[in-house]
Amino acid sequence: MAASSPEDVARKLGYASPTDLILHLPLRYEDETRITPLRDARLGDTVQVEGVVEHSEIEFKPRRQLVVQVKEGDARLYVRLLHFYPSQVALLKPGTRVRLMGEVRPGFFGAEMVHPQFRVVRETTPLPDTLTPIYPAVAALSQYAIRKAVAVALAEADLSDPLPIPAGFPAPFPSFAEALKALHHPPPDADLASLEGRDTPAWRRLKFDELLAQQLSLALAARQRQTLHAIPLPEAGGLHERMLAALPFAMTSAQQRALREITHDLARPHPMNRLLQGDVGSGKTLVAALAVLPALAAGYQVAVMAPTEILAEQLFFKFQEWLQPLGIEVAWLAAALKGKAKKAALAGIADGSVRVAVGTHALFQNDVSFHNLALVVVDEQHRFGVAQRLALRAKGAQVAREESPEASAIGDSQPHLLMMSATPIPRSLAMSYYADLDVSVIDQLPPGRTPIATRTINANRRDEVIARLRDYCLSGAQAYWVCPLVEESDKLQLRAAEESHTELVALLPELNIGLVHGRMKSDEKAAVMSAFKAGDLHLLVATTVIEVGVDVPNAALMVIEHAERYGLAQLHQLRGRVGRGARESSCVLLYETPLSDSARQRLKIIHDNNDGFAIARADLQLRGPGEFLGARQSGQQLLRFADPVADADLLELARDCAADLLERHPEGVRRHLARWLPRGLDLFRV
């Protein structure tokens, strides 16, 4: 295969086939449609000039370089190539006419270009009649090779419109072929700022097509889910009442509403696919624990997956506290579990004696075999990759097929899925990426949650903070001290958890101070957390392993070091560890100067807001949808061109017309999806 064949170019750029190159769109453009006379080329301008090579020589001082003198009339230009090949020396021989594109700079002998683009031409060689596209590239490919492959793809691909123009799209609405032509080969008078800012009718047409493909795929995924079989779980057999009677508090109306929505889905013979959203401390874990009871009452198993060992342990303790009095065995499974304990857990999961398995990614390893898995609960779902969530759902497929004789095809049955997130999803993202999910929102905090006062303090006042911390803890309260790293780092000058622990123990001898971080053994972490929860420790120095799931009502103060290094969602999650009791609660954000603009923005947002939805909207603006949703972990892109926030009007239109197109133009939908999602739809099915 030739190095520059369309197949090779497509493969190196990561596309499934050469046809996909039609959507490999330019990053920017260069204007090669006009020649600037050499005498008119001004210093600092990037221009295209033409002339004849008058002299060419390899020089060795101050370094090896090819110096070429180009002449046009009485004007001269020097060209220097610091890195060059023998073929270029042969091309740039005296008498050769060349066309050069580059920045004109002042040189030792006069005006010069360093490493310009150049080509050998004749007097009659025509100029391009469109702007020259500059494409995203990889090291092994030249722009020439990419342009050639894209041109072949555009010439050979079917560029017709498979679907009708939607009513309501603001004019002008170019055809797909016209839009591609306008983006790959714009005319010389095109508005470069609008083109490169992706704000032209052609760009809006392609953004709409991409959003439409997404909405169609989500609608198809939701329809497909209705054809799959799951085990109906209609009744909890009195377990709800028994568990609620043992609680020392009442559920909020928002929790009750979310639970009703979940139990309604569980009773159906199709797999539930529901996202449970709620701000920090809204009581999602309790709703999830109540939600598993119908599966347990019917004799089936439940898997509860969390992204970290500490969160898995906290969930394990909560589920054990609530379910053990009901006679239900709960097991914890994580990578750190070894020896007899791991064998016992695996055996109990395999024979069904373990009814609820709580764990990390270890739950979907090959050596884990469930006896009759009917429900999967995924906490902090955005922190798992798509492949991980698919793997855990697959664990229940065989069980569901055996329980439902109608389901015969491989993969035709799935367990119910409940995903939880304390990172609220703004409406535009929920409408875009979660359109095939049913969403329950707990928009009410339990009574008794005290407001958290957030203070930002320069790290040069650290001694004052420590002094106030001493008085606070001696008054009978507990506190967290959060650090970004476990050990000292030469690369990042951040105060490490172990260093802070040593320092605070020395400065505060009257306090009992514990340390917890992700590198500790599970039993060591559990012992420290238990001591802190029991009140035996005044202060807990920790890394972000305490970000979620930790509930100690007496801990009402948190100090976060190097707060400028954290993301908004993480700061909000950490802050949510306090404010869980009757004491007035505070979160102190210690920051180092100088602050970057983005760090200053984040600290201001977290200082001014306690509302998780407001923080999530701000986080989305700062980070973009891909990072916000954790989609980068999946190894797949979410949207290449459109932005669900900036292009909300196109998203609304795409969503509104998707159902009608599915009904009236099924073949056109198939062709549209094949164009935009050639690798399939799995990203939108989890």
Per-residue pLDDT reduced to its tens digit, 604-662: 999 998 888 778 777 776 766 555 555 433 434 468 898 877 888 898 899 889 989 99
- State the Cα–Cα distance between residues 440 and 435, nearest whole angstrom: 13
Q: Is residue 204 part of a domain?
A: no
Strands ordered across the beta sheet of 46-59? 105-106, 111-114, 75-81, 65-72, 46-59, 97-103, 117-120
CATH assignment at residue 104: 2.40.50.140
- State the Cα–Cα distance between residues 225 and 148, nearest whole angstrom: 43
Q: Is residue 682 part of a domain?
A: no
Q: Is residue 638 part of a domain?
A: no
CATH assignment at residue 556: 3.40.50.300
**Do 383 and 433 sit in the same domain of this protein?**
yes
Q: Is residue 255 part of a domain?
A: yes
**Do 186 and 273 sit in the same domain of this protein?**
no
Task: State which residues form the domain around 604.
Answer: 452-609
CA-based max dimension of the chain: 98
Last residue of one domain, picked from the residues 412, 442, 472: 442
Last residue of one domain, picked from the residues 549, 581, 609: 609
**Do 403 and 494 sit in the same domain of this protein?**
no
Last residue of one domain, picked from the residues 127, 149, 171: 127
Q: Is residue 651 part of a domain?
A: no
Average pLDDT, the chain: 85
Q: What is the pLDDT of residue 623?
A: 65
For tokens 């016209």, the residue is: 178
Concatenated DSSP letters for 187-252? Answer: -TTS-HHHHHTT-SHHHHHHHHHHHHHHHHHHHHHHHHHHHSB-------TTHHHHHHHH-SSPPP
Q: What is the pLDDT of residue 62?
A: 83
pTM of the entire predicted model = 0.68
- Nearest Cα to 301, choosing from 239, 355, 346, 347? 355
Element (H, E) at 78: strand 75-81
Q: How far is CA 192 from the centre of its chain?
A: 30
Q: Is residue 209 part of a domain?
A: no
Q: What is the pLDDT of residue 102?
A: 93
Considering Cα of 644, then 649, then 652, then 656, what sign does the dihedral take? negative
**Do 286 and 374 sit in the same domain of this protein?**
yes
In the chain, the number of structural domains is 4
**Do 422 and 456 sit in the same domain of this protein?**
no
**Do 594 and 468 sit in the same domain of this protein?**
yes
Residue 598 tokens read as 């983005």
- State the Cα–Cα distance between residues 220 and 47, nearest whole angstrom: 51
Residue 586 tokens read as 């505070």
- Nearest Cα to 331, choosing from 322, 339, 319, 340? 319
Q: What is the pLDDT of residue 209?
A: 95
> How far is CA 500 from each of CA 507, 520, 550, 571, rounded to the nearest angstrom?
10, 16, 21, 19
Q: What is the pLDDT of residue 679?
A: 67
Q: What is the pLDDT of residue 155?
A: 95
Q: What is the pLDDT of residue 248?
A: 84
**Do 143 and 95 sit in the same domain of this protein?**
no
* Positions in the chain whose pLDDT score sits under 70: 1-3, 381-413, 424-436, 448, 486-495, 547-550, 621, 623-638, 679-686
**Do 484 and 531 sit in the same domain of this protein?**
yes
Q: Is residue 481 part of a domain?
A: yes
Q: What is the pLDDT of residue 338?
A: 83
* 622, 423 contact by CB (below 8 A): no
**Do 12 and 39 sit in the same domain of this protein?**
no
Q: What is the pLDDT of residue 624?
A: 61
